[in-house]
Chains A and B, each alone.
Chain A
Amino acid sequence: MRLTSLKIRIPVVLILFVLIAFLPSCAKKKIYSEPGASAAGSNGSRAGGSDSYGSGSGSGGIDEQALKGGAAGYDQAGGAASGSSLGGSRESLVSEDIYFEFDSAVLIPEAREILKTKADWLRSNSGISIIIEGHTDDRGTPEYNIALGDRRAESVRLFLESLGVASSRMNTVSFGEERPADPGQNETAWAKNRRVHIEIAR
């Protein structure tokens, strides 16, 4: 049941990510701190109920105010975006997480697309080293989830390496289920926690 709803959700969320990544004006307004976050953060009971933006307001259009409000409690991504003079790609390297299916470390097609964009930027910014963090939802046992997070980070590392990012610039760390992006106990939250997050190494 969860997997079915996941299959519907993930592509929609990711398509929105990709769309948003190409809309600089939106990025500036932090919309890419993601519709999913807004849904779960502001109203957990909406979990899995609808994948469309407009179901809350009924208008069907993108309501920028509502999104900003919803995103307030969710400081995972895009926090440093507004007014930043850095290039959008550096921002999106950190802010765009890679999502996975339940109990899987396989890169879904959308994840590969996002990683290609990241690899492009990393290749042209060769001074940057990154930390690839593997995370899981809290379904499953803590030690298994560390191993699963380890596999997810490793999948991303290997894929970036295959796209020409030097192995020496990448480190991995698995946090398993210990650092959820969303502490909620519903599929919306779990889907957001099954992720690889990239940080720039200092």
Chain B
Amino acid sequence: MGNPAVRLKIIGMLLILLITGETAWCAGKYDYIDISNPMMKKIPIAVPLFKPISGNTAEIQTSDSGSKQLSNFLGFTGYFKVIDRGAFLIDTAQSDVAIPQYKAWTTVGAEFLVTGAAASQDNQLELELRLFDTINQRQLIGKKYTGHPDDQRKMIRRFCSEIMMLLIGNSGIFDSQITFVSTSGSGNKEIFIAEFDGSDARQITNNKSINLSPDMSSDGKYVAYTSYAGGKPDLYIQSLSDRKISVVDKKGMAISPAWVPGRFELAASLSFSGDPEIYLLTGNGKIINKIIESSGIDLSPSFSPDGKKMAFVSRRAGSPQIYIQDMESGKVDRVTFYGNNNTQPDWSPKGDKIVYTSLDKNVFNIVVISVNGNGAVQLTHGSGDNESPSWSPDGSMIVFSSTREGVSKIYVMTAFGTDQRRLVDLSGQQSEPKWSPNVTN
């Protein structure tokens, strides 16, 4: 997976063939899921083992691991309930992947069915995946993916994105990643990247110093973070393909980077003038201009999805609070008023909310609030300190860090605060998770 050029080639070779004519279905037609309802019923879906076409070992392996991956991906979203295979009424190995016995599936409660068939030879994997509506008895999506066996996960991710687009109305989170800080390597705080579900965590810094606050660019090619590798907190902008690093090494500190959506620019808090202020920088770390200035600390920028506004933390009123600045007019509005310590704003992908960390009664918790400052809802309760919230790219989930089990670890929950669970399985402590945009590559 290391060489990006090779990866691109493999992906280029991924042929996607539409094997059904039924493409007229749009998201609106399948309004099965009311995603604005926190009490929504999970959609029951059956995912039988993929069928090995010739029965060779590679196919049997894909049959098992592939159907497991697909089930896990869909289950992870919180929208689906994957039905236990033990409940199935039919021997799926004997049935046709293209023509399901719909009745047998509705009887076990499955409203949707995904079938798969794997053909593997000469280091090439052909994966056929189909989604069926078992109640209306029709195929909704059919795709055949061809590529290197290493790209099995990518094929399944892509099919899950199709399912999400059709049933939920957005492409979900399967092409996103999570950057975070972990001490699991050398014991020092280094920057890691994991898949959206916390799997496949890999270390991208190894300077045995202190590295903090990672943020991935919209195109997924760069990660900006704070590093003490030079003895003080500097801003590092690291290319993920060749590991080249641009360093913003000014007097004082350069911290809390946030990329401007869709641009090779980022905002960060720099204190070389004597006071931490927020500056706009090029992706190469050149200062463009100062965008936030007040007496006292200004930091932790987070842009609205259209890049026209920016949330940030300022101490201008005597305690750290969250503000929004209109980038064009420069007009600033205060968002938070309750409590004396509100930090780490993260602007929702839908643009209507900001999630942040709030200190109340001596505990840090995650709170979500409308951008106009109304309707604050606390999402975490009575479970240690909860910090560093970050939205998934579809706005359905929030990743955060928590000390609920002792040392800080990474957790996810739905945007309503439900289904809170551990995400990354690593030793040591993990903190400052940041969910990347979807990056299709």
Q: CB-nearest residue of chain A relative to B320?
A: A144
- Residue in A1, A144, A147 whose Cβ sees the most chain B Cβ within 10 Å: A147
Q: In whole angstroms, what is the CA distance A141 to B387 when docked?
A: 7
The interface bits of chain A over 147-161 (1 if a CB of B lies within 8 angstroms of the residue's CB, else 0) are: 110110010000000
> Which A residues are CB-close (under 8 A) to B189?
178
> Which of A55-63, A80-88, A112-120, A169-177 lies on the face that meets chain B?
A169-177
Residues of B with C-beta under 8 A to A79: none
- Residue pair A1, B253 in contact (C-beta under 8 Å): no
Contact B210 A103 (CB under 8 A): no
Other-chain residue from A139, A143, A154 in contact with B255 (beta carbon distance below 8 A):
A143
Chain B residues contacting A146 (CB-CB under 8 Å) are: 212, 226, 233, 253, 255
Q: Verify A150–B276 contact, CB threshold 8 A.
A: yes
* B210 proximity list for chain A (CB < 8 A): 175, 178
Residues of the A chain whose Cβ atoms lie less than 8 Å from the Cβ of B297: 144, 147-148, 151
A180: interface (CB < 8 Å): no
Q: Does A140 contact B (CB under 8 A)?
A: yes
Min Cβ gap B313→A in Å is: 7
B299 interface contact, C-beta 8 A: yes
Closest residue to A144 on the B side, CB-wise? B343
A151 to B431 CA separation, bound complex (whole angstroms): 24
Q: Known contacts A142-B432, A178-B210; is A147 also within 8 Å of B341 by CB?
A: no
Q: Is the CB of A142 within 8 A of B300?
A: no
Whether B343 pairs with A140 at a CB distance below 8 angstroms is yes
Q: Answer whether residue B231 sits at the interface, using C-beta atoms and an 8 A cutoff.
A: yes
Partner of A1, one of B340, B362, B431: B362
Q: Are B252 and A150 closer than 8 Å at their CB atoms?
A: yes
271-294 of chain B: CB within 8 A of chain A: 271, 274-276
Closest B residue to A158 by CB, please name it.
B274
- A143 touching B274, Cβ below 8 Å: no
B396 touches A (CB below 8 Å)? no
User: Which of B212, B213, B231, B341 interacts with A140 by CB under 8 Å?
Assistant: B341
CB within 8 Å for A143 and B362 given contacts A154-B274, A178-B210, A178-B228: no
The complex places the Cα of A174 from the Cα of B255 at a distance, in Å, of 11
Closest CB in chain B relative to A122 CB, distance in Å:
20
- B226 and A143 contact, CB distance less than 8 A: yes
**Within the complex, what minimum Cβ distance (angstroms) separates B231 from chain A?**
7
Query: Is B340 a contact of A143 with CB atoms below 8 Å?
Result: no
Scoring A140, A146, A173, A174 by chain B CB atoms within 10 A of each residue's CB, the highest score goes to A146
CB distance from A69 to the nearest CB of B (A): 28
B176 sits at the interface (CB 8 A):
no
CB distance from A155 to the nearest CB of B (A): 11
Q: How far is the CA of A55 from the CA of B269 in the complex (A)?
A: 46
- Confirm or deny: B67 has a beta carbon within 8 angstroms of a beta carbon on chain A: no
Q: Is the CB of B300 within 8 A of A143?
A: yes
Q: Roughly how many angstroms separate A151 CA and B256 CA in the complex, as a whole number?
A: 16
Interface pair A147/B253, CB less than 8 Å apart: yes
> Known contacts A103-B319, A176-B233: does B362 contact A144 (CB below 8 Å)?
no
Contact between A144 and B299 (Cβ–Cβ < 8 Å)? Answer: yes
Instruction: Scan residues 374-401 of chain B and give those whose CB is less than 8 A from a CB of chain A.
Output: 387-388
Contact B212 A141 (CB under 8 A): no
Q: Are B431 and A142 in contact (CB under 8 A)?
A: yes
Q: In the bound complex, what is the Cα–Cα distance between A103 and B320 (angstroms)?
A: 9
B232 near A173 (CB under 8 angstroms)?
A: yes
A148 to B313, CA, bound (A): 12
Chain B residues closer than 8 Å to A174, beta-carbon distance? 232-233, 252-253
10 pairs of A and B residues whose beta carbons are closest in the complex: A143-B256, A173-B232, A147-B297, A147-B276, A141-B343, A144-B343, A178-B210, A150-B253, A146-B255, A150-B271
A-B contact pairs, 19 of them (CB 8 A): A1-B362, A2-B362, A103-B341, A139-B359, A141-B344, A141-B364, A142-B432, A143-B255, A143-B256, A144-B313, A146-B233, A148-B297, A150-B252, A150-B271, A151-B297, A175-B210, A175-B228, A176-B233, A178-B189
